């Protein structure tokens, strides 16, 4: 109920003042898959028929390869135990992952899930995706940073707005058909963001999914977006959710 109210208030606050309000999509669940209920999901992406997931919490953070059909973890690597793992994305033959407040990220061999190296970045790390040229990082603010995938230096940044108002709490990210999809933390919303202007082109309202997971923990929020471009499939889940959903978007 609280998340549903926050979702409605946020949509109203940032869209009603705009001359042309962003569209709002609802959803249809196409299929439901098992998901590890102990996985504190921070990053999620789909590659070569498998899900890859980064999880958080100090001492429990992991990078894992997951079989979609049954949620079985096929490979798992531990993030250094002092770190709170955050978002992740594929880049070439590597997985790039973030940590929350320590300003350090990691490079992993994507086949063996072995740690290859680390890099530094200023500020917090929340979500991570890429557009084929740059890494795109969220830090919980309305800003998204575009980083050079070799040097990890900032190339540019955009300020995400809807109705002329900044949109804070941008979290897990996914690149979908030329747009940045971003979970808005502690809501049931995904923002569809123009990567050039930062303007929110539309909202995906996933209200109701959280009520199917049977958790009353306020930390167990929606956070996980993966897209399969070959079969045009969109997947979503949340922190410690026992289910992962394949969804189809519907115009309201």
How many structural domains does the chain have?
1
pLDDT surpasses 90 at 199: yes
CATH number for position 147 = 2.120.10.30
pLDDT surpasses 80 at 191: yes
pLDDT for the residue 234? 98
- Mean pLDDT score, 199-226: 89
**Model confidence at 213, in pLDDT bands (50, 70, 90)?**
confident
- Mean pLDDT score, 70-88: 96
- Mean pLDDT score, 93-115: 96
pLDDT surpasses 60 at 123: yes
Chain mean pLDDT for the chain: 91
**Model confidence at 19, in pLDDT bands (50, 70, 90)?**
very low
pLDDT for the residue 20? 54
- Mean pLDDT score, 131-145: 97
- Contacts of 37-41 with C-beta under 8 Å, sequence gap 24+, read 37/240, 37/241, 37/242, 38/240, 39/64, 39/239, 39/240, 40/219, 40/239, 40/240, 41/172, 41/223, 41/224, 41/237, 41/238, 41/239, 41/240, 41/241
- Mean pLDDT score, 216-239: 92
- % of the chain at pLDDT higher than 70: 92
CA distance 53 to 43: 5
pLDDT digits (tens, 9 = 90+) for 83-98: 999 999 999 999 999 9
Domain enclosing residue 206, as ranges: 2-251
- Mean pLDDT score, 197-221: 88
What are the residues facing 34 on neighbouring strands? 243
pLDDT for the residue 50? 97
pLDDT for the residue 21? 63
pLDDT for the residue 219? 80
pLDDT digits (tens, 9 = 90+) for 38-62: 999 999 999 999 999 999 999 999 9
Residue 14: phi and psi, rounded to 5, are -105, -5
């Amino acid at each position: 109920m609280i998340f549903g109210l926050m979702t409605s208030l946020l949509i109203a606050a940032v869209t009603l003042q705009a001359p042309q309000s962003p569209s709002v999509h609802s959803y249809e669940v196409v299929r439901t898959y098992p998901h590890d209920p102990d996985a504190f999901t921070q990053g999620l992406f789909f590659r070569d028929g498998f899900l890859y997931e980064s999880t958080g919490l100090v001492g429990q953070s992991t990078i894992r390869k997951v079989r979609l059909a049954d949620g079985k973890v096929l490979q798992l690597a531990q993030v250094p135990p002092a770190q709170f793992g955050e978002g992740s994305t594929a880049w070439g033959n590597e997985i790039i992952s973030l940590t929350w407040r320590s300003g350090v990220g990691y490079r992993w061999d994507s086949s063996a899930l072995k740690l290859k190296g680390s890099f530094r970045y200023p500020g917090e790390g929340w979500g991570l995706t890429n557009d084929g040229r740059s890494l795109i990082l969220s830090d919980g603010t309305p800003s998204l940073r575009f980083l050079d995938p070799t040097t990890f230096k900032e190339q540019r940044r955009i300020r995400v707005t809807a109705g002329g108002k900044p949109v804070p709490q941008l979290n897990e990210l996914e690149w979908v058909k030329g747009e940045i999809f971003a979970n808005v933390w502690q809501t049931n919303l995904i923002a569809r963001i123009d990567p050039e202007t930062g303007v929110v082109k539309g909202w995906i309202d996933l209200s109701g999914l959280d009520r199917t997971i049977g958790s009353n923990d306020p930390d167990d929020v929606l956070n996980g977006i993966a897209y399969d471009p070959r079969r045009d499939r969109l997947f979503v889940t949340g922190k410690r959710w026992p289910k992962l959903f394949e969804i189809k978007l519907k115009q309201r």
